[in-house]
């Protein structure tokens, strides 16, 4: 960590750079979030758990590529819905 004196010298050098002036509050307020960037999640949609699965199941889903955990979740959701239908 720089000392306060070193920090002041660094800031003075940065502020004196004519090619890179500091942004004003008005300029900063004009920035918009880029497409695809998310803010904080408002309400949790899923809950985190630790789960032990057979290696065969994990290997099968991992072999299907990225998003394998969501596909396991989808399969479990389908199973729950099917069981609810038969119980009703």
In terms of Cβ atoms closer than 10 Å to its own Cβ (0-12, 13-18, 19+), residue 60 is: middle
Residue 51 has a pLDDT of 93
How many CB atoms sit inside 10 A of residue 51's CB? Answer: 6
Encoding tokens for residue 54?
A: 């057979």
Q: pTM of the predicted model, to two decimals?
A: 0.51
pLDDT in tens, the chain (88 residues): 999 999 999 989 989 999 988 888 999 999 887 777 777 777 878 888 999 999 999 999 999 999 999 999 999 999 999 999 998 7
DSSP at 43? S
Contact 1, 10 (CB under 8 A): no
Q: Which of 10, 17, 70, 13 is nearest to 45 (CA)?
A: 70
């Amino acid at each position: 960590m720089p000392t306060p004196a070193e920090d002041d010298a660094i800031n003075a050098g940065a502020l004196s750079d004519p090619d890179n002036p500091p942004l004003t509050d008005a300029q900063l307020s004009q920035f918009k979030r880029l497409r695809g960037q998310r803010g904080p999640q408002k309400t949790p949609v899923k809950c985190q758990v630790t789960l032990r699965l057979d290696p065969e199941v994990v290997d099968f889903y991992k072999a299907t590529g990225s998003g394998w955990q969501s596909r396991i979740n989808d399969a479990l959701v389908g199973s729950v819905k099917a069981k609810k239908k038969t119980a009703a």
